[in-house]
Amino acid sequence: RTVYVNGDYLPETEAKVSIFDRGFLMADGVYEVTSVLDGKLIDFDGHAVRLARSLDELEMQAACSKDELLEIHRELVTRNGIVEGLVYLQITRGSDGDRDFVFPDPETTKPTIVLFTQNKPNLADNPAAKKGAKIISIADIRWGRRDIKTVQLLYPSMGKMMAKKAGCDDAWLIEDGYVTEGTSNNAYYVKDGTIVTRPLSSDILHGITRKAVLRIAAEAQLKIEERLFTIDEAKQADEAFTTSASAFVMPVVEIDGVQLGDGTPGPIAKRLREIYLDESRKAAI
C-alpha cells in the first residue's frame, strides 16, 4: 500500500512519524474518513469543511489547502486501485522534539499529515446492513467537545469491545438519561413514520452522513424530529438506524436485548440507505 506522509507518497513500511508527535503522545490531532465508491470520493466537500472546523477549534494549522487534500485523496485512491473503500486522513499538531502540555510554537512546528487507504470491496453491498445491527447502551463518559473530530478514540473503542463481549455489534452512548450517539455514528429511531434524532450541539459529532440523510428524508416527505430521546423510547420504536461515512445507513434491529419490529432491517432505514447510496454515487468526485 502507498501512503502519504508530510508531502511524500511512500510504501507503508517506509512511512515515519516522530515518537514525540503530539498525536502519538497526547491524541492532539483530528481526522476524517471519506468513503470511496466506484473509485470516487463520497462527500469530499463535507469532510473538508468539517476538517477545517476541527482544526480551527483546536487552533491547529491546516497543513495543506482543500485542493491539495483532494488531489492527495485521489492520488492514493488511484495508486492503490481502490474501487470501494475508505481514505483515512489525520492531522496532528506535530512536535518540537520534546514532550510538553503547552502547545509548541506554530511558527516553528509543522503539523503532521498522514493519509492511507483501506480496501473494502463490500462497503456498499455490506452483509451486516442486510442483517441489521444489535446495539447495547453504555454510559457516555467522553469529553465534552464531541463536535471536534479528534483522534481520542479510546472510549469509543472500549464501547465497541463491550458490545462485542455482549454478542452485539455496537454501543449507543447515554448521558443524563438521553442517547447522544453511537460509538462511531449518529443514532436515530423511527416511530409511526417519524424519524427522531438528537439535535446538533457540542454533545455529538456533526455527521456528514447525518446531514445528507436528513436532507434525503425531508425530500421524501418523512417527518423528522431533532430532539433529545431516551433509550427506552428507542426500544419501543418501530425501527432504528445509525449513519456514518463508512457504514452509510445501518439498520438497528435490537437494543439492549429488545427486538425492534420483526427483528429485521426496517423499511425506512432500508429506503434511506438505498437513496443515500444512489445519490452519493451520482455526486461522487
- Residue ranges that bind ligand PLP, judged by CB under 6 A: 33, 181, 184-186, 205, 207-210, 243-245
DSSP secondary structure string for all residues of 157-203 = HHHHHHHHHTT-SEEEEEETTEEEEESSSEEEEEETTEEEEPPPSTT
> Quick one: 201 or 236, whose CB is closer to ligand PLP?
201
> Quick one: 2 or 186, whose CB is closer to ligand PLP?
186
Distance CA(268)–CA(252), nearest Å, equals 11
Angle (nearest 5°) at CA 82 between 164 and 284: 95
First to last CA, the chain: 22
> Quick one: 90 or 186, whose CB is closer to ligand PLP?
186
Catalytic residue among 16, 110, 130, 149: 149
Instruction: Say whether 191 is catalytic.
Output: no
Maximum C-alpha span of the chain: 59
Q: In the chain, count of helices (H) and strands (E)?
A: 8, 15
Distance CA(113)–CA(91), nearest Å, equals 4
Distance CA(36)–CA(44), nearest Å, equals 10
> Quick one: 96 or 279, whose CB is closer to ligand PLP?
279
Distance CA(80)–CA(46), nearest Å, equals 23
Cell numbers 413514520 correspond to: 193
**C-alpha cell belonging to residue 202:** 457540542
Q: Is the Cα dihedral 68, 115, 159, 184 positive or negative?
A: positive
Cell numbers 469530499 correspond to: 44
> Quick one: 48 or 253, whose CB is closer to ligand PLP?
48
> Quick one: 210 or 270, whose CB is closer to ligand PLP?
210
Active site residues: 149
